[in-house]
Amino acid sequence: MDILQTTIESINTWSTPLFTSQQADHTFLKETLIEHIYHCKELQQQAIDSQVAPLAKHQLFESRLDFLESELPEVIELKRSFEELLTQAASIANQDAWPAEVTASAYIVESWYHITQNGGYHDTHSHPNCSWCGIYYLDVGDSDLTSRNGINRFYDPRVNAEHYQDAGTAYLSHQGVWDFAPKEGQIILFPSYLKHAALPYFGQTDRIVIAFNAVVDFD
């Protein structure tokens, strides 16, 4: 007797796309960008110049949300490269959702730096009013994945994914978080709904990042 085989198809839904890239000109841009950031820090009116969620941030300096609007050539080049990367990432993430004949471009609408000093952190949050976000690790200082020092932690957006655990849910990893090891010159891009945090940083040198929010429109 022939035994009928049941056909089963795998459907992978509700995945969260993230992208990483290495800033090609990091070596040439770093010194000028850091010098410019510390100059801006001296002009700040308060530690959290953006005035956004100051109680969620400790022992760090944050600029206003227009850092990449500077006329400094290195900053102009940085913004251009970020928008190019964001356009690529959005195109990949939406390759099955966009009409075949369209093209799109990403535009950075908010940008800022963080200078995180010894003991500094940024509590869990997400970024409303944009579709994509990014973090550029200009100087990671003493950040370290093994000790979870000064790293960025991303949280599973599937709210009830861990409500029951057995052998059938092993693929969920039973972690609920994904810890990202920052590397100097690296950029991570992620959708704005993804909650994340900068865990407490302990080090003798400052941890410096540039972050940004973007929207994407069809050309």
The sign of the dihedral angle between the CA atoms of 72, 74, 75, 80 is positive
Q: What's the pLDDT tens digit per position in 17-64?
A: 999 999 999 999 999 999 999 999 999 999 999 999 999 999 999 999
If you ran DSSP here, which 8-state letter would residue 130 be given? -
Q: What's the pLDDT tens digit per position in 92-138?
A: 999 999 998 899 999 999 999 999 999 999 999 999 999 999 999 99
Q: What's the pLDDT tens digit per position in 188-218?
A: 999 999 999 999 999 999 999 999 999 999 9
pLDDT(1) > 60: no
The per-residue pLDDT for 21 is 97
- Listed by start position, the domains of the chain span 19-155+173-218
The superfamily in CATH containing domain 19-155+173-218 is q2cbj1_9rhob like domain (2.60.120.620)
If you ran DSSP here, which 8-state letter would residue 34 be given? H
